[in-house]
Amino acid sequence: MPRRPPDCLVAAYASIHRRHSMEEERQDTLEESPDWRQRFIWLAEDVCRLHGQPAAMIVDDPDNYLSMSVAVDGTAFDVLHFPEDPERLVVHCKVGAVPKTHHTDVLKNSLATNMHLAWSHTGMFALDTDSDELIYSTFEPLHGLTAEQLMHNMAAMAGAAGPWAERFAQPSA
């Protein structure tokens, strides 16, 4: 096995040290006065790292919401942060396209389920009228939320969405 030149070791150590310094700076900043938009951006970067992908390019325009799209266990998610509700984020789980043949039944069952979800404050079903997809939407508090916890929660939603999508999967054109 070839030996690494000392420059590589120095560069690797510097990279690790920089990462630890950034983590400490993040923690200090969040403990002093939380900047919830920055926390969302850091969370998005951490989610990308967990996926082994480069950090998401998020444009921080204070007048608009922030968003990140990610797939977990084959299910698509949009994670959103709105300036009007800075201390939490919204997770949209794209359950699947609603087939025309079952449109009424799916929407009726989703609305009936929403009644139970409202009592438990766990989320709600919605219909994306642009794509005709059933969406499960929930809130997550940003305070203390880690990328690992967010991914775990999304994996649980994906586990529930998978069987539904398989049952109602539309044949490809």
- 34 membership: H or E segment, kind and range: none
CA dihedral 118, 121, 123, 127 (to 10 degrees): 20
Tens digits of residue pLDDT in 24-62: 555 554 455 589 999 999 999 999 999 888 777 777 777
Tens digits of residue pLDDT in 124-150: 999 999 998 999 999 999 999 999 999
CA distance 5 to 158: 45
Region class of 144: left (phi > 0), else alpha (psi between -120 and 50), else beta:
left
Of residues 106 and 12, more confidence is placed in: 106
Question: Class of the 34-168 domain?
Answer: alpha beta
What 3-state DSSP class applies to 6? helix
Token look-up 């794209």 returns 94
pLDDT of residue 169: 54
Q: Which two tokens stand for residue 101?
A: 């043949």
Q: Answer for the pair 77, 71: CB distance below 8 angstroms, yes or no.
A: yes
Question: Please, is 29 exposed, middle or buried when counting C-beta atoms within 10 Å of its C-beta (0-12, 13-18, 19+)?
Answer: middle
pLDDT above 70: residue 3: no
The structural domains of the chain, with segments of one domain joined by +, span: 34-168
CA distance 67 to 63: 13
pTM: 0.74
